[in-house]
Amino acid sequence: MDFEEIVIPTERLSFPALAAGEGPIVVCWHGFPDHPASFGPLAERLVAAGRRVVAPFLRGHHPSTFDQLPFADGLTLAADAAAVNAALSPEPLDVIGHDIGAGVAGRLAAGWPSRVRRVITMSVPPPATLRHIFDDPAQQQRFFYLFMFQVPGVAESLLNSTLIEYLWRTWSPGLSVPPHVLSMYEDPQLRANALKLYRANFDRSLHDPSLSSMAQATEKPAPIPMLVLAGAQDGCITPDNYTDAATGLAPGSRVEIVADAGHFLQLDRPDEVAALALDWLR
């Protein structure tokens, strides 16, 4: 997919993004360890169907924003997404989020529903059900990296290409890490910011106090129906973690387990994911 790099000026930050196509906008938020360009195969299919795809870099994940991550909690990222939508259009926009981006999309829909038309999340259950995910010891083992990232020095030493290749290989069996992802994570400033996102799960000093009044609302089910996609072969968050997903979703939502897909299902099965996405966005 041939993307152009654009900058989206907002009241919060100027967000670098990859963009392609013309037509109604679909905003796509990436996760970890990943890059907006990994939406390429999905974007190619959305563009062919008459959509414009805009895939921003998460705050702190582009050289121009490395020093712009004082707070790294999920609510900060959702507020960023609301600002991006407002800057791109006065009308509500369609949003797709993968991995960390799934949390961004879910919290955006819960906290700023007027900014969202249709929502699709991939590879992470809805925010309102995530508190139960740590109840399973096997899932805690799969989240070893999350706990490892809390240890100063150890995390900085071990977040390298070897770990990233291992995570991709384990999460989506048979899938190789794209060169753009490895290149992105070569930068120590970006790695530090990625660790900060995970440390914000436990460190309240990394939460923006100006957004605290919205924290409760964004962890509740969004009022907007969502399409939740998961890979049947996901080695990070297994499909059984979606059994109770409906309790965290608005009526009219759907959960789809994509066969023969891992965590990076938009790369594993782009045709199937695009078909599901286009049907939902219509």
Structural tokens at position 236: 């990070």
Give every residue of the chain whose pLDDT is below 50, as ranges. none
Q: What is the pLDDT of residue 131?
A: 81
Q: What is the pLDDT of residue 250?
A: 96
Domains of the chain: 4-281 (3.40.50.1820)
pLDDT digits over 20-43, tens only? 999 999 999 999 999 999 999 999
Count of C-beta atoms within a 10 Å radius of residue 145: 17
Query: Shortest CA distance to 200 belongs to which of 32, 95, 91, 69?
Result: 69
Q: What is the pLDDT of residue 208?
A: 98
Q: What is the pLDDT of residue 280?
A: 98
Q: What is the pLDDT of residue 130?
A: 86
Q: What is the pLDDT of residue 154?
A: 97
Q: What is the pLDDT of residue 204?
A: 96
Amino acid symbol at 209: P
pTM: 0.97
User: Where does residue 1 rank: exposed (0-12), middle (13-18), buried (19+ CB within 10 A)?
Assistant: middle
Tokens 């770990």, residue located: 163
Q: What is the pLDDT of residue 139?
A: 94
